[in-house]
Amino acid sequence: MDFALATQLYPEEYWYQSDSYLKDEPEFDLIQVVQQLHASLEPRTVFACFGKVIGQHLPIQGIQLAVEQQKLSWGRHHGLSLQRNLCHNDTNMAFQYQLSAPLTPLQLMQLEKIEPLFALPFINALKYQKMANQAMFDALTGLGNRHYYSQSILNALARAQRKHGKVSLVVLDLDRFKNLNDEFGHKLGDTVLMEFAKVINKAIRNTDQAFRIGGDEFVIIVQGDEDAAGILCHRIMEFIPTNPLLNQFQVQTSMGVAGHKSAQNPEQLYEIADKALYSAKADGRNGFKIDKAS
Rounded Cα–Cα distance for residues 60 and 105 (Å):
14
| CA atoms in the 13 A half-sphere facing the CB of 31 | 0
- Catalytic residue selected from 138, 175, 208, 216: 216
The total of other beta-carbon atoms located within 10 Å of residue 276's CB is 24
Q: What is the per-residue DSSP string for 18-36?
A: -HHHHHTSPPP-HHHHHHH
CA distance 33 to 80: 25
List all residues 6 or more positions away from 102 whose beta carbon is below 8 Å from its beta carbon. Answer: 6, 8, 9, 10, 11, 14, 59, 80
* Phi and psi angles of residue 79, each rounded to the nearest 5 degrees, phi first: 115, -160
Q: Are 233 and 142 in contact (CB under 8 A)?
A: no
Task: Name residue 279's amino acid.
Answer: S
Q: Name residue 247's amino acid.
A: N
Could you tell me if 65 and 82 are in contact, meaning their C-beta atoms sit under 8 angstroms apart? no
Active site residue 216: yes
Burial 143-160 (b: 16+ CB within 10 A, else e): bbbeebbeebbeebbeeb
Q: How far apart, in whole angstroms, are the C-alpha atoms of residue 8 and residue 18?
A: 18
The residues assigned a catalytic role are: 216
